[in-house]
Amino acid sequence: MSPERVGEIVGCCRATAAAVAWALAAATAVAVPVTLHAAPVTIAFSGAVTSDPYGLSMVGAPISGSYTFDTAAPDAVPGSSIGSYRSTGLAYGFDALVDGTFYSTPGAVTVNVANNIGSDQYGVIGSFGDLTLELFLEDFSQTALADDALPAGAPLLAAFGVRSFRLFGSDAEFLGSVDRLACTAGCSAAGLPEPGTLLLVALAGLLWCGGRGRGTTLAVQR
């Protein structure tokens, strides 16, 4: 092996080491705010009315809205299969626009997560007075969610077979489909790979670098 090739490998390993250091730092930076500090995240959704039992609108009318929750909300349900995360405060709530009419449940929102209980489920519910807004996703293949932890961003909508919106009020009731779900604010933490994923990347880099280093030594000895 030529000295230039050895130099390329060493340089590559330096670059890998820098990448490893970046990944470790990024993993730490991501882990700390997600786990220790409140981080409002807003998820927007849209869909269409599928049932309007009181004739206030019509089937197919557009639905859109958003909910804002706290990524640091505590899990109120013990155990490892169900999580219920309630965020309270002015920053949090659930809004929906159904065929041009605005509905809002400010001050609190609950995100429910269920993993491997016969299905995987992701639910959002906001209540204010007589008004309740809900979003409910369910995957009977039980592959959509890895655990009952609160997802920091929008779950992958395509992973769920059941995708429903519900509104119940004293003078209104709508059922609807959900065909779009996206994080629109506070998504920086949610958009990065999980810390564990970054650490795996770093470890793979270290192993790769170590393997190339041993190969270089052998080549020089020959």
Partner 1 sequence: MMATAENHWHGSGPTTPQSQSRSLWLLGWLALTAVANPAHAVDGVVLIDQNRALAGNVTPGDAPGFPVTLTLSGSYRLSGNLTVPDANTSAIVVAADVTGVTVDLNGFTISGPTVCGGFPIVCSPLGSGIGVSAPNGARAITVRNGTIVGMGTSAVQLLSSLNTVDNISAISNGQVGIFASLATVTNNRALKNGFNGLLVGNSVVMHNLAVQNGGAGIGGNDNLIVNNTLTVNALVGVAAANSAFSGNQFSSNNGGAANPQFSGRGPIGPNGCDGSVCP
Contact status: 132 vs partner 1 (CB under 8 A): yes
Minimal distance, residue 185 CB to partner 1, in Å: 5
Contact between 106 and partner 1 per CB under 8 A: yes
Q: Does 177 bind partner 1 (CB under 8 A)?
A: no
What counts of helices (H) and strands (E) characterise the chain?
3, 8
Q: Taking a C-beta distance cutoff of 8 angstroms, is the pair 49, 59 a contact?
A: yes
The first and second tokens of residue 108, run together, are 């609190």
Q: Count interface residues toward partner 1 (CB under 8 A).
A: 51
Among positions 26, 33, 48, 173, the unique one binding partner 1 when judged by CB under 8 A: 173
CB of 22 to partner 1, least distance (A): 28
What does the DSSP assignment read for 173-192?
EEEEEEEEEEEEES-HHHHS
Q: How far is the CB of 160 from partner 1 (least distance, A)?
A: 13
3-state secondary structure of 148: coil
Of 92 and 160, the one with the shorter C-beta distance to partner 1 is: 92
Least distance in angstroms from the C-beta of 108 to partner 1: 5
- In the complex with partner 1, the residue whose CB is nearer, 30 or 122, is 122
Q: Contact 39/191 with Cβ under 8 angstroms?
A: no
For residue 84, give the nearest of 94, 75, 71 by alpha carbon. 75
Q: How far apart are CA 112 and CA 13, in angstroms?
A: 44
What is the separation of C-alpha 214 from the centre of its chain, rounded to a whole number of angstroms?
40
Binding mask 109-128 for partner 1 (x = CB under 8 A): -x-x-x--xxx-x-xxx-xx
Among the listed residues 10, 19, 61, 82, the single contact to partner 1 using CB under 8 A: 82
Instruction: Give the span between the Cα atoms of 216 and 54, in whole angstroms.
Output: 75
Per-position x/- string for 55-74, each x denoting binding to partner 1 as judged by CB under 8 A, each - no binding: -----------x-x------
Of 8-16, 21-29, 169-177, 209-217, the segment contacting partner 1 by CB under 8 A is: 169-177
Q: For residue 77, state whether it binds partner 1 (rule: CB under 8 A).
A: yes
Within 10 A of 158 (CB to CB), how many other CB atoms are there? 10
According to DSSP, the residues that pair with 185 across neighbouring strands are 42
Residues 6+ apart with CB under 8 A from 110: 84, 85, 86, 87, 124, 125, 126
Q: Which residues bind partner 1 (CB under 8 A)?
A: 38, 40, 42, 54, 66, 68, 76-79, 81-82, 84, 86, 88-93, 95, 105-108, 110, 112, 114, 117-119, 121, 123-125, 127-130, 132, 134, 136, 166, 168-173, 185-186
